[in-house]
Amino acid sequence: MDKLNIAVIFGGPSQEHDVSVVSAQQLMDAADVRTMNIVPVYMNFEGRFFHGPTLRRLERYKPSPPGLREVFFAWDDAGPCLKSHDGSWRCGIDCAVPVFHGPFGEDGRLAGMLEIVGIPTTGFSATNSAIAMRKDATKSLVQSVGVNVLPHVVVQTSQLADPEPVIDEIEEKLSFPVVVKPANLGSSIGVGLAKDRETLLIHLQGALREDTFALVEPQVQNLEELNIAVMFRDGKTCFSAIERPKSSAELLDFREKYLSQESSGNGGGQGKLGAAIVPSQGMLSLTRDINPDLDPELQARLYDYAEKAFAILGQRGAPRMDFMTDKATGELWFNEINPMPGSYGFFLWEAANPQVLFPDLVAHLVQEALGDTVKSFTDPVPQDAYLLPR
C-alpha cells in the first residue's frame, strides 16, 4: 500500500509558537511510518511556509531552524501539493494536519486557506475554529444547546479610553473577585485575577495588550477543573479520560502549564529549550488526577455537556474541553474548547476506556479528513443564478 503524504504544519506568528513546535514534534514522532510519510512544514513569524530536514531537530530552533526551503500549498494537474517558489521542487500532499495553538493557526485562518486550495485538513472547519477561538462566542453557542456557562462581560480595547463605565458594569453584573483573560488566546496567556477596581483595570490593560477583546467572568469558589477530550468515531461520540489538574497557584499561568524543571522523559524530537527547562507533555508537569473518582451525576453531566458542545461545533477532530465545577455546590460550567490541545491530548486518550494510542489518534484524524473533504471542480452556480454566459 502506498504511504500517505501528511503535511504537519506548525509554528506561526502566535504567542504560542513554541508550544506548537513541541506539540508537532510529539505528533510526528507518534505517526505510523508504515502508512504515513510525514512532511514537516514550518510557518515562520511572517506567516511564510518552509520545509526541510532540520525541522525534525528541536535543538536547531533558535527560534527557527536554518537551511529551509520556502514552499506554498497548491493544487496543480497532479492534485494537492507543496511547491517551492522557484518551481524546482514539488511534493504531493494527501492530507494536512495543523498543529497550532492560538491565532493564525488554531483560529481557522490556516484551515480556511487549505479549504480554498482543496487540501483535506484535520480538525475543525475554518468557521468552527474561528468560533471556538472566541471564548465569548463559544459560550453563547454552547449555551444555546443547554450547556451551562458562567455570566461574563466582554471588553473591547476602545472601552479603555474611558474605562469607568465598563468597570461599573463588571462590578454590578459580576462582583469581585473576577477572572480577566484575552478572548482569543489559550494556554492561560494574559490571564489575571482582579479583586478590586484598580487591579481589574491593570488586568484589562494586560489582556488587551494581547488581544482586542477581553473576557471577564466571576471567579469560581471551591474551584475544581475538569478536562476531557472528544472525537466522533464509529457513529458515536467517544470520550477520553477525565483530567483534574491541581495547582498551588490561584490561577494556572502559561509557564506552569507547559514548563517543568525536570525532563518529562520524552524521546523523539524533543530537546531542551534552556539550560534547565524542557517542555512537558501538555499539563504533565502539574500534579493531577486522571480519571478521578467523581460523583456519578456530575460525571454524567460532564459527558452530556461535552457531547452537546462537540455536536454544535461540528463534531470533528479531537478537541479538549475544559470545565469548572464548584466542589461545594456541585455546579458545573463549560469554560472553553481547544480544537488543537497541547500534545493533542494524547495522554488523555491513552488513559481512556477503551484506550486510544497516539498513533491511532493521528490515524483517526487523517482518515476523518480524507473521508469528508472533497474538492469540486464543477461550476457551483445554479442555472437560475447565472449572470454571466456559460
At 212-262, the pLDDT tens digits run: 999 999 999 999 999 999 999 999 999 999 999 876 555 555 555 544 433
> Domain end: 218, 249, 267, which one?
218
244 and 204, same domain (yes or no):
no
Query: Tens of pLDDT along 90-130?
Result: 999 999 999 998 888 899 999 999 999 999 999 999 999 99
- Of the two residues 336 and 373, the one the predictor is more confident about is 336
**What CATH number has the domain bearing residue 256?**
3.30.470.20
Residue 385 lies in a domain: no
Query: Tens of pLDDT along 151-170?
Result: 999 999 999 999 999 999 99
Residue 377 lies in a domain: no
User: What is the Cα–Cα distance from 69 to 161, expressed in whole angstroms?
Assistant: 45
Residue 384 lies in a domain: no
Percent of the chain whose pLDDT exceeds 90: 74
Q: Please give the tally of structural domains in the chain.
A: 3
Contact 222, 328 (CB under 8 A): yes
Query: Tens of pLDDT along 361-386?
Result: 999 999 999 998 767 778 889 999 99
277 and 295, same domain (yes or no):
yes
Q: What is the mean pLDDT of the chain?
A: 88
Q: What angle in degrees, to the nearest 10, is found between the helix axes of 126-133 and 135-143? A: 100
Q: What is the pTM (predicted TM-score) of this model?
A: 0.85
Residue 285 has pLDDT above 50, yes or no: no
Residue 86 lies in a domain: yes
Residue 381 lies in a domain: no
- pLDDT attached to residue 186: 63
242 and 308, same domain (yes or no):
yes
202 and 239, same domain (yes or no):
no
288 and 142, same domain (yes or no):
yes
Residue 343 has pLDDT above 60, yes or no: yes
Tell which residue, 203, 171, 168, has the closest CA to residue 188. Answer: 203
Per the listing, cell 463549560 goes with 334
Taking CA atoms, 185 is separated from 102, 171, 243, 333, in Å, by 5, 24, 21, 19
Lowest pLDDT segment from 71-80, 332-341, 377-386: 377-386
- pLDDT attached to residue 282: 44
For the purposes of burial, counting CB atoms within 10 Å of the CB of 351, is it exposed (0-12), middle (13-18) or buried (19 or more)?
middle
Residue 62 lies in a domain: yes
Q: Say whether the peptide bond before residue 40 is cis (omega within 30 degrees of 0).
A: no
User: What is the Cα–Cα distance from 185 to 175, expressed in whole angstroms?
Assistant: 24
239 and 357, same domain (yes or no):
yes
180 and 329, same domain (yes or no):
no
Tell which residue, 265, 270, 241, has the closest CA to residue 361. Answer: 241
31 and 144, same domain (yes or no):
no
Taking CA atoms, 389 is separated from 84, 356, 376, 378, 381, in Å, by 36, 53, 21, 16, 12
For the purposes of burial, counting CB atoms within 10 Å of the CB of 151, is it exposed (0-12), middle (13-18) or buried (19 or more)?
exposed
Domain that holds residue 88: 4-122
User: What is the Cα–Cα distance from 318 to 362, expressed in whole angstroms?
Assistant: 10
Phi-psi region of 264 (alpha: psi -120 to 50; beta: other; left: phi over 0): alpha
139 and 106, same domain (yes or no):
no
- pLDDT attached to residue 64: 85
144 and 57, same domain (yes or no):
no
8 and 30, same domain (yes or no):
yes
300 and 241, same domain (yes or no):
yes
